[in-house]
Amino acid sequence: MAAVASPNPSASAKPPSFSTQFQPRMTLLPRFTLPIYSNPQKRHPFLHISNVISNSKPTTTTTTTMLPVPESFISRYAPDQPRKGSDVLVEALEREGVTDVFAYPGGASMEIHQALTRSRTIRNVLPRHEQGGVFAAEGYARASGLPGVCIATSGPGATNLVSGLADAMLDSIPIVAITGQVPRRMIGTDAFQETPIVEVTRSITKHNYLVLDVEDIPRIVREAFYLASSGRPGPVLIDVPKDIQQQLVVPKWDEPMRLSGYLSRLPKPPNDSHLEQIIRLISESKKPVLYVGGGCLDSSDELRRFVELTGIPVASTLMGLGSYPASDDLSLQMLGMHGTVCANYAVDKSDLLLAFGVRFDDRVTGKLEAFASRAKIVHIDIDSAEIGKNKQPHVSVCGDIKIALKGLNKILEGKGEITNLDFSSWRKELDEQKLNHPLSFKTFGDAIPPQYAIQVLDELTGGNAIISTGVGQHQMWAAQFYKYNRPRQWLTSGGLGAMGFGLPAAIGAAVARPDAIVVDIDGDGSFMMNVQELATIRVENLPVKIMLLNNQHLGMVVQWEDRFYKANRAHTYLGNPSKESEIFPNMLKFAEACDIPAARVTQVGDLRAAIQKMLDTSGPYLLDVIVPHQEHVLPMIPAGGGFMDVITEGDGRTKY
């Protein structure tokens, strides 16, 4: 038995055919691709796909398709030269076009690190914690659209990846995680630093492998990248025992992928009759609204064209921010628990909900029965499991939203009567909601409103920065008050809500996009969870700016305490109770310890100049912005509530 993996279904169907003309790796990312952010230095390897039963050695090939590359890969080894499994693994990564990894060494993975030192093309960005490494790989993937790669040792190194894998699974982020494992003969003996990481991560990865034959490494790595990137993207884990890493082998790079069951389930192009039906529903509606999510990030051009042709207003999920320009007149901005009144009003009053690349998450829908209760629902998503899971659609299309939008646009462009689509009265109704219920905040003396700090950052960066966040109030304010006009500007832990995400994700974004301004908007609680990554930022000299909204509390939990628990504080104060008048801990000392310039601002009159100095300083910078803990994120629809339950007033200064 060559490798142990999640069992593959039937291998009876033929794989889809691929164009013989070379296309970059991004074409395999139907859900999370933005060509503008691709790395021109990356190359796609040969893809050799065949139908072979997954638990046997390939003996029969029914279909073989290959994607040529613009130039052949030049190995540093002679074709018949034996080399260690670890060197085969690293070369397999090189053949996938990997140029950056986030790897932390340990006993069971040190062979891989030794092999990395022999690579001429792969740079290791050394995190200071494995969780920092996997979040950085996610930041890399979210900012570039290409799979991020992280590597950890066995046991605690591997288990430290768990939160990042779960996060990538929930948010559909393509990452490949590689872990060292104890030697094969010791698996199952409770050996030092042994954990069954394949079993631990089975339900939070798209697929995972335990390598039991060194000859399988080239095929498994190729499969892992294909699985992570194709269909609905997600994390794939490869567990490599140490004796496999040390074993000498002459690799076979032309071994076919054995994914026939998976390939047979990839969605086909949408049926024209279904698209025609959607166009008919649009023409019959009076109050349509688009509800777009993370699935639309790589279909931004097609989405903008669709809106241009139809004039339908757009509400975005937290994950979908940037897929449609927030500054456009037809943008309703974010919907859901902390979405705009206008966006939630539009969904509530709509007669047609076009749900594109979304999963009807509870933070969006609230009370399911009340969500879009007046509307016919059209749901397009690449994952068949999401269709009808939470909300039953009237029309559904399981397929790539990019292809579906192209098809819809082609039909619309071919119809002369599209000029008859007139939703001006509906848009006027929504404009009144925008006017009556804008996103707003109050000021109290010299105190800095956190919303204002983000607004100023938006102005001073021209809305062009890549923004990462932790999780909590600062995350929601960053979603509300920074205007995302392009995809892949907004990096946040959506489904899992993992605190500590912001700083390492910013590292990944800065590595993937060295040309971009990268700002981590963080809270003091989230920042402390991966504060050690300041050392990585300094050593790598990454120009990451950190704007810390420091309120000395777990702000979002405090908000819920204020609203629903009579303001009873249950361990949500993060300062020093014996010195409440002082800022604790002193974040500037953390920055100083890592030789990173830092400053603190406490008065609103000094804020703009302080943010400008942060942006003007070359390299990394930390700005500690002291904000009041009484602020609440508004609007707010309480969990399980509907649009009629929306809260638009109040803060921690009021009793409830």
Residue 588 backbone dihedrals phi, psi, to 5 degrees: -65, -30
Tell me the pairing of strands 175-181 and 235-241.
Answer: parallel
Distance CA 409, CA 425 (A): 23
Check if 349 is active-site: no
Residue written as token pair 């192009």: 269
The amino acid present at 346, given as its one-letter code, is A
The answer to whether residue 242 is catalytic is yes
Distance CA 590, CA 628 (A): 22
**Mode of pairing for the β-strands spanning 466-469 and 331-334:** unpaired
H or E element, residue 84:
strand 83-84
**Residue-wise burial string across 632-643, b where 16 or more C-beta atoms lie within 10 A, e elsewhere:** bbbbbbeeeebb
Angle of the 555-564 helix axis to the 473-481 helix axis, nearest 10: 100
Q: Where does 285-379 have alpha helices with state H?
A: 300-310, 341-349, 362-365
556, 587, 614, 636: the active-site residue: 556
CA distance 139 to 519: 12
Q: In angstroms, how far is CA 557 from the centroid of its own chain?
A: 24
- Per the DSSP assignment, residues forming a β-bridge with 650 are none
DSSP 268: P
Q: Is 306 a catalytic residue?
A: no
Contact by Cβ (8 Å): 412, 289: no
- The Cα–Cα gap between 131 and 500 comes to 9
- Tell me, yes or no, if 360 is annotated catalytic: no
Rounded distance between C-alpha atoms, residue 499 and residue 3, angstroms? 35
One DSSP character per residue, 588-599 reads HHHHHHTT--EE
Exactly one of 102, 111, 169, 242 is catalytic; name it: 242
CA distance 338 to 641: 12
* Contact of 632 with 562, CB cutoff 8 Å: yes
Q: 334: how many CB neighbours lie within 10 A of its CB? A: 24
3-state secondary structure of 17: coil
Which residue is catalytic, options 193, 277, 376, 429?
A: 193
149 pairs with which residues across the strands?
176
> In what helix (H) or strand (E) does residue 508 lie, and over which residues does it extend?
helix 502-512
613 is an active site residue: no
Whole-angstrom distance, CA of residue 488 vs CA of residue 277: 32
Tokens of 78: 């002679």
Name the residue with tokens 């740079």: 123
| Cα–Cα distance for residue pair 83/90, rounded to 1 Å | 11
Sign (positive or negative) of CA dihedral 30, 294, 456, 624: negative
Which member of 130, 138, 194, 255 is catalytic? 130
E strand spans, 112-249: 123-124, 148-152, 175-181, 207-211, 235-241, 248-249
Residue 269 makes CB contacts below 8 A (sequence gap 6+) with 399, 400, 403, 407
The catalytic site residues sit at 130, 192-193, 242, 556
